[in-house]
Amino acid sequence: MINLAANLSMMFNEVDFLYRFSKASSQNFKAVEYLFPYDFSKDNILNELNENNLKQILFDLPAGDWNSGDRGIAVDPERKKEFEDGVHLAIEYASVIKPDHLTCLVGKLRQGVSDSQARSILIENLIYAAEHTAKAGVSLLVEPINTSDIPGYWLCNTDEALSIINEVNNPNLKLQYDIYHMQIMEGNIINTIANNLDVIGHMQLADNPGRHEPGTGELNYPEIFRRIDSMNYSGWIGCEYIPISDTESGLTWAQDFLN
């Protein structure tokens, strides 16, 4: 069974954030995800989830100053304390909103930081985050992202992500596998999912090129869905795409899964 979660950072952006929960529910979504909740009250978000009978799947750890270009801070040795503080802020929100997962965006390699330094501090930070999220009862995910959309993003392929996860060696840390990002970086989507299903905690989707709805690009999503379903994947797939037009009119591809 394919379980789809609406990504409220990209979908239903015809309305302000807190109104997107009801929009998702009106289209028969049962779950949501988004980048960050931190500009909003925990109680207001919880109210929207409860009022619309929605499950919270994930949100991201604080990722630095997004508007200034940060896309995570976990590979910057000088921002370790900021990272740790962000872990605790995310856990504070998670204690109310109750997501299944928190996602770590590792960030871009800062000038003056070597690859080995970035890897070392990332592992240190993930060990810290995995321990504290486990105590809080929420799993931690780490996500490789393509370097066309985010030049300089340090973690950009599945093998390196798996190597990091193995070195952290905490069962609370899993892989967030984004089909769109990994199609750009490496392809071989179905085999990669099949070979690593035990370590994949969450998936996301969009078509390529353009990062729009399935069916607008090169990916054979009907076959991808069929194969994922045959693997008995029990997690969720987040719809992290940019609607070509308004969100609702672009949901025809998803009707078999939402009805």
49 has a pLDDT exceeding 90: yes
Of 82, 136, 73, residue with least CA distance to 104: 73
When pLDDT is cut at 50, 70 and 90, the band that residue 139 belongs to is very high
**What pLDDT was estimated at residue 88?**
99
Is there a catalytic annotation at residue 240? yes
Identity of the residue numbered 25: S
**What pLDDT was estimated at residue 36?**
99
**What pLDDT was estimated at residue 40?**
99
Instruction: Tell me what the mean pLDDT of segment 197-208 comes to.
Output: 99
Q: Which is catalytic among the residues 33, 48, 213, 240?
A: 240
Is there a catalytic annotation at residue 143? yes
| Tokens 């490789």 found at | 144
Instruction: Tell me what the mean pLDDT of segment 180-203 comes to.
Output: 99
4-258 folds as: TIM Barrel (3.20.20)
* pLDDT per position as a tens digit, 3-42: 999 999 999 999 999 999 999 999 999 999 999 999 999 9
Instruction: Tell me what the mean pLDDT of segment 60-89 comes to.
Output: 98
186 has a pLDDT exceeding 90: yes
Residue 89 and residue 64 in contact, taking contact as beta carbons nearer than 8 Å: no
When pLDDT is cut at 50, 70 and 90, the band that residue 124 belongs to is very high
**What pLDDT was estimated at residue 123?**
99
Residue ranges of domains in the chain? 4-258
Q: Can you give the three-state secondary structure of 68-97, one letter per residue?
A: HCCCECCCCHHHHHHHHHHHHHHHHHHHHH
Q: Which is catalytic among the residues 143, 160, 223, 248?
A: 143
Q: Which tokens is 222 given? A: 């009907």
* pLDDT per position as a tens digit, 159-169: 999 999 999 99
Computed over every residue of the chain, the mean pLDDT equals 98
259 has a pLDDT exceeding 90: no
pTM of the entire predicted model: 0.97
Residue 45 and residue 124 in contact, taking contact as beta carbons nearer than 8 Å: no
**What pLDDT was estimated at residue 43?**
98
